[in-house]
Amino acid sequence: MHEEVLDNGLRVLVQEMHTAPLASVWCWYRVGSKDETTGLTGISHWVEHMNFKGTTNIPRDKVKGIIEQFGGYWNGYTWIDQTTYTETATREALDRMLFIESERMASCLYDPVDCESERTVIIAELQGGENDPDTLLDQELMAAAFRAHPYRHPTIGWLSDLQSMTREDLYGHYRRFYVPNNATLVIVGDVDTSDAMKDVVRHFGGIAPGDVGRRAHTKEPAQLGERRVTVSREGTTGYVKLGYHAPAVGDADFFPMLALDAVLTGAKGVNVWASFRTPPPQRSARLYRALVNTGLASSVMGNLVPTAEPFLYTISITVTQGTALARVEEAARAELERVGAHGITEPELLKARKQLVARLVFENDSITNVGHQLGYFETVASWRLCGRLRERIEDVTAEQVAAAAAARLKASSLTVGWYEPLPIGTGEPVSGQGASAGPVSPMGVR
C-alpha cells in the first residue's frame, strides 16, 4: 500500500494489483446524512445526484461516455457517514478517471434547471421507497430508535426538506464538503504507483482546501425502555423488525457482535457494497431455524455494518401469510433472550469464524471491491483496519460474544417495528396478523 497526503490535504491510497489490465478509482468524501441539519435532510444524497450532471469541462451528456468508451463501469452512493464515486475500466483509462473525479471535486455546475428536475426525481424515489413496506418500516424504526443523533434522518431526506431546499443550499453544501482535505482518493489495479501519483498531483494538486467546519454530533442518550412503532397500510405481507443499539466499528464489542449475528442469521461480512448481494449461509442459523423452519416467517435477515458512531443492529423478518405478528415477535425474542442469557457454543463460534473469513475472501474478489473497502474503512475508522479484519474475527471468543449479547440484546435498548398489512379497501387488519392477534399492544405511528 502506498499512502500519501498532498499539500492540500487530499489523502491518496494506491494499491497495485496486477491480476488483470484494469484500474479502479474511488473518491470518498466524509459527508453523509449524519452531517445534515434540520431543514436540509437529504441534501448529501441530492448533491451526489447533481455531481453526475456535468462540470465546467465535461458536458452532462459526455460524463457516461468518457468511461463507457473504455468498456468501463461507474457509480456512486451516499449513506450515513460518506459519499463516494467510482469508476473501473481498463488501465489506459486511469488518467480519464482521475480527470472526472478532479472535475467532480472542483467544477460541478448546479444548473438551476437541473436542480429542479432532480428534485422531482428524488421525491419520486422517496415516494417509491415509502411504497415498499420493508423500506418504510426501516425508516420509521430508525426515527424511533434515535432521539438525538442525526443517524435518525433517512439518507434520502424528509419530504418537506426536499420540497423547500434551494439551488443555493445544494451548491453551498457541495462547496463546503467537496474539498480535498475532506476526501480520500483510492486507486487499485494494474498501475504503477509512481506514475499514478504524478497523475494525481497533476489533476488534484491545484485544488484549494476548504474549511469544512464540522460540529460535534449530539451523543445518543442511553435508551431507558422498549420503544415500538406500528405502520398499518393496505398490503398482503407483514413485517417485524427488531433494532438494538449497536457498537461503532471502533468499539471493543463490534467483532463479537459480528460473530453473534453470524450465529443468529448467517454471516454477511463487512462490505456494504457487495456483502448483502449474496445470500448468507442460514440453514443452521438460530433465528432461521426458529422462524423460517417453523413456518412463521419466509425470511429473516440480520444487519450489522461498520459505522463511525454507534448505529443499530437490525433483525428484519418477513412474516408468512396468516401468521400473527405478535407470535413471530415472541418467537424471535425468545431466541434472542436465550442467547443473551447463555451465549453461544464453541462449535457455533468456530462455524461463524469460518463463514466470516470466507466472506472476507469474496469481498476482495475484484479491484472494485478492494478499492471500496479501503475507502469505506478510511471514512469510518482507518484503511489499516482492512488488513486486520481476519485477525479481529479469529480473535473473537465465545466469552466475548456472550458478554456482547448480554449487554446489547436488552429489552431496554430495543425498538420494535411492525408493518401490519390491511386488506384492500376495508381498513381492517388481515385475519391473524393484526395488533389484536397477540399479547403485545404496540403503540406508535398508525
- DSSP string over 347-398: HHHHHHHHHHHHHHHHHTSSHHHHHHHHHHHHHHS-GGGGGGHHHHHHT--H
Judge whether 240 and 296 are in contact, CB under 8 Å.
no
CATH 3.30.2090.10 is right for the domain spanning 227-437: no
State whether residue 94 is helix, strand or coil: helix
The reply to whether domains 2-204 and 227-437 share a CATH topology is: yes
Given a cut of 50, whether residue 73 has pLDDT beyond it is: yes
Q: What is the pLDDT of residue 236?
A: 92
Given a cut of 80, whether residue 446 has pLDDT beyond it is: no
Q: What is the pLDDT of residue 427?
A: 57
Q: Where are the domains of the chain?
A: 2-204, 227-437
Given a cut of 70, whether residue 83 has pLDDT beyond it is: yes
For the chain, percent of residues with pLDDT exceeding 90: 87
For the chain, percent of residues with pLDDT exceeding 70: 95
Given a cut of 80, whether residue 370 has pLDDT beyond it is: yes
Average pLDDT estimate for 336-349: 97
Average pLDDT estimate for 125-130: 92
Average pLDDT estimate for 42-63: 93
What Cα–Cα distance (Å) separates residue 361 from each residue in 59, 279, 389? 39, 15, 11
Model confidence band, residue 435 (pLDDT cutoffs 50, 70, 90): very low
Task: Let me know how long the chain is.
Answer: 446
> Which DSSP category does 424 fall into?
T
* Architecture of the domain defined by 2-204: 2-Layer Sandwich (3.30)
Torsion from C-alpha of 345, 351, 355, 356, nearest 10 degrees: 40
Give Cβ neighbours of residue 374 (< 8 Å, ≥ 6 apart): 13, 15, 26, 186, 188, 383, 386
Residue 229 grid cell: 412503532
Given a cut of 70, whether residue 154 has pLDDT beyond it is: yes
**Per-residue pLDDT reduced to its tens digit, 223-265:** 999 999 999 999 999 999 999 999 999 999 999 999 999 999 9
State whether residue 443 is helix, strand or coil: coil
Burial bucket for residue 389 (CB in 10 Å: 0-12, 13-18, 19+): buried
Name the H helices within 193-280: 193-204, 254-265
Q: What is the pLDDT of residue 346?
A: 98
Average pLDDT estimate for 3-7: 98
Residue linked to cell 429473516: 300
**Per-residue pLDDT reduced to its tens digit, 187-214:** 999 999 999 999 999 999 999 999 998 7
Model confidence band, residue 432 (pLDDT cutoffs 50, 70, 90): very low
What's the mean per-residue pLDDT of the chain?
Answer: 93
Q: Residue 150 and residue 311: Cα distance in Å, rounded?
A: 10
Q: What is the pLDDT of residue 276?
A: 74
* Angle at CA of residue 198, ends 109 and 88, nearest 5°: 60
Average pLDDT estimate for 108-131: 95
Min mean pLDDT across 38-47, 105-114, 123-132 is at: 123-132
Q: What is the pLDDT of residue 221?
A: 96
Min mean pLDDT across 41-50, 69-78, 349-358 is at: 69-78
Q: Residue 309 and residue 313: Cα distance in Å, rounded?
A: 13
Global pTM value: 0.93
